[in-house]
Structure 1
Amino acid sequence: IGVESQDGWTIDAHPIHGAAASTNHPPVGSSFRTYRPIYFHEFVANHAARKRYWARSFLGWTNLNKSKPNPAHRAVADLGRLGYLSSVITQTHPSLRTLELHGYLRSAVCTTCRTEYDRQLFQNDLAQLNPAWSDFLNEMLASGALTTENPDERRRLGLKTNPDGDVDVPGVDYATFRYPACPSCLAKPPTDKDGKRHVVEVDVDGAWLAGNSTAGILKPNVIMFGESIPDTTKVAAEKAIDEASRVLVLGSSLATYSAWRLVKRAREQAMPVGIVNIGGVRGEDQFFGHLSTGNTGKEGLRCAHILEEMLPSLVTELSQRSTAPLTASAMARPFVPAPWA
């Protein structure tokens, strides 16, 4: 995208970015074609499902925790500093500390009391509760099976990894895996909506026990499939859209309704919509059907570019301009970049 065609997209723009901004791949990739994630209702209701989830997450966390922002992420922060963005909504879980529509992986959260726990400390607890699994993880790390980016090499070593940190080891029995209970609920069990005291039971090592336990289950602090987004997050996202003059979608197919409806909300207010994504986009005809044949980009924009290449180049060109299009005082909320930027 040339700078001239970006003129209509630089004032009070509100970007929504998805998985492709983090992976540099089309959002609908082969890694998800045979991968069925655990749904929220399964996780909260099924002890075995939680064992499976946390075992696979335990194996994938070490590398996932090493993930760093790529040039596209840093360019988004730079565009904010230059005054071209008012706020950012992210759909993925990279812990970039913007408005995180679907949560983040940097912590676990109790499904009962909503207390959060640092994910790395939780990882340490998992290692202590599962010494055999910890040894297996160390062996996999030493072999390079979890660090190689070559999918063929991973398959040769008997592993299948997914972008959300899930690691599948064929033939493994997850029944032996243990996970801790929420420390807060364990120390002081809360009451339910009827005033009855919850029960939290653990084994001698502190692992959560099924049977009598009715609380203290820890889950990843992300919106799982089938789980509702908190009302506070919905309101914040809608407010960010309403306070913008246009919306720019970066690296997202808008496959999830929660993201698609925000762009639809913008169009219902006659805001121009720009989408930069490799691959298809859900219902994109609704966003661009009104464009005139002489549109130069100000009415709307749809293109396919590699974000890691396009956005840094755009930042370089825009930074050479003498004045920014939007000062902090003119923004509804001053842009605050993520701490890594």
Structure 2
Amino acid sequence: MFKQCAKLHFSVISNQVIYVPKHKPPDPNDFYNLKNFLTKHQQLLVLTGAGISTESGIPDYRSEEVGLYARSNHKPIQYQEFIKYPKVRQRYWARNFVGWPRFSNIQPSATHHAVRQLEMAGKVTTVVTQNVDHLHQKAGSKNVIELHGSGYLVKCLSCPYEVDRFTLQDTLMERNPDMKGSFSMIRPDGDVELSKEEVDKFRVPLCPKCEGAMKPDIIFFGDNVPKARVEQIRKQVSNSEAILVLGSSLTVYSSYRIILQAKEENKEVAILNIGPTRADDIADMKVSTKCGDILPELCNSICS
């Protein structure tokens, strides 16, 4: 019943599974309960987190044993540190430069494609994602709101200038022709571990208009989601009939408040995620299994 559907076309990388935490396979009750939820509701808002991108080979932060915190002593970059300290920016951009070719080449998982199928069938009207990896867009989803921004756009901190990340990579290659580096694991926002020597020789990007510092359009830890984006999401929640959460523990408040708003508006919420989430006690349905083991089959069952 839960075999991967032939209608979904995606690339499989052999080491992807190492970032997916231990989980139980779905059972028939999981399948039928979620199918009833998807059949019952139209105009779904889908909220996605790092758990769907682990299936593509990008680790999350918090999963036991396989998450970034469990596999390393890495601490995510803090917004205020990035703003204040040139050395922090140098370290970030050196790591991001080396990791970008691999990060930007990662392909959508079966879950990303299933969400797109549901969108094409008129079930999903909005995708709100906590991820910065652009994989929903690669899968073809149209109405995507990137809650925490995108690693594919870079902005100047001092003026309105902005640049596509691919274009910036060409500039960085010109400034750092001998920079190669090696790494074993990419991080959720695309950076990697490098030696101090590699970081110290890296020439950081500067704005070509004003020579200001450049920052990826990502909401770093300690920063706030822009008010306009928060309001845009609030309107989409109000316009939706129900919420489907995929691969998110809802630990950060920016995602959890979406669920709080939905419940205040008496909308049903279903959660599909490996392990517990912050909203388990208020959700109408919780299925604890890997999204890619059940959603593609559900999608084909509903959309055929």
SS at match of 1:167: coil
Match of 1:124 in 2: 170
Asked if the contact 2:99–2:190 (Cα under 8 Å) also holds between the matched residues in 1, the reply is yes
- The answer to whether structure 1 residue 242 and structure 2 residue 238 are counterparts is yes
Classify the secondary structure of the residue corresponding to 2:52: helix
Deviation readout 1:297-329 (Å, 9 max, x if unpaired): xxx210112212211101111123xxxxxxxxx
* 1:57 aligned counterpart, secondary structure: helix
The letter of the residue matching 2:101 is T
Paired position in structure 2 for 1:178: 203
Name the CA distance, whole Å, in 1 between partners of 2:218 and 2:60.
22
1:19 maps to 50
C-alpha contact (below 8 Å) 1:20/1:27 kept by paired residues: no
Counterpart residue number, 2:16: none
Once the two structures are TM-superposed, the CA of residue 230 in structure 1 deviates from its matched residue by 1.1
Q: Do 2:244 and 2:270's aligned partners in 1 also have CA atoms closer than 8 Å?
A: yes
Distance 1:85 1:161 in 2: 30
Q: Does 2:255 correspond to 1:255? A: no
Identical positions, percent: 31
Q: Distance in 1 between matches of 2:94 and 2:215?
A: 13
Superposed displacement of residue 171, structure 1: 4.6
- Indicate the RMSD between aligned Cα atoms, in angstroms: 1.9
Identify which of 30, 53, 68 aligns with 1:31: 68
State the SS of the aligned residue for 1:168: coil
Asked if 2 retains the 8 angstrom alpha-carbon contact of 1:3 and 1:317, the reply is: no
Which blocks of at least 5 consecutive residues in structure 1 are unaligned? 141-145, 147-153, 155-159, 187-199, 201-215, 289-299, 321-341
8 Å CA contact retained: 1:70, 1:308: yes
Q: In 1, are the aligned partners of 2:61 and 2:68 still within 8 Å (CA)?
A: no
Say yes or no: does 1:266 pair with 2:262: yes
Alignment map for 1:17-96 (pairs within 5 Å): 17-24=48-55, 28-29=62-63, 30-33=67-70, 34-95=73-134, 96=136
Normalising by structure 1, what TM-score? 0.71
Aligned residue-pair number = 258
Give the aligned residue type for 2:232.
A
Q: Secondary structure at the match of 1:83?
A: coil
- The question of whether the paired residues in 1 share the 8 Å contact of 2:48 and 2:248 is answered with yes
- TM-superposed deviation, 1:283: 4.2
Residue pairs, 1:209-224, within 5 angstroms:
216-224=212-220
Q: Distance in 2 between matches of 1:246 and 1:27?
A: 27
Bigger radius of gyration: 1
Cα displacement (A) at 1:3: 4.2
| Pairwise CA distance, 1:104 | 0.6
Q: Which residue of structure 2 lines up, in the alignment, with residue 6 of structure 1? A: 35
| 1:279 equivalent in alignment to 2:304 | no
Q: How many angstroms apart in 2 are the aligned matches of 1:114 and 1:275? A: 39
Structure 2 counterpart of 1:8, one-letter code: F
Question: Does structure 1 retain, via aligned residues, the 8 Å contact 2:259–2:279?
Answer: no
Task: Provide the rounded CA distance (Å) in 1 between the counterparts of 2:34 and 2:105.
Answer: 36
CA distance in 2, matches of 1:26, 1:230: 23
Partner of 2:291: 307
Q: Which residue does the alignment assign to 1:228?
A: 224
CA distance in 2, matches of 1:5, 1:120: 39
Equivalent residues of 1:39, 1:224 under 8 A apart: yes
User: Any stretches of 5+ residues in structure 2 without a counterpart?
Assistant: 1-29, 138-143
1:175-206 deviation digits (Å, cap 9, x = unpaired): 2211232123x2xxxxxxxxxxxxx4xxxxxx
For 2:217 and 2:204, how far apart are their aligned partners in 1?
Answer: 16
The CA deviation at 1:44 is 1.0
Give the Cα separation in 2 of the matches to 1:42 and 1:5: 43
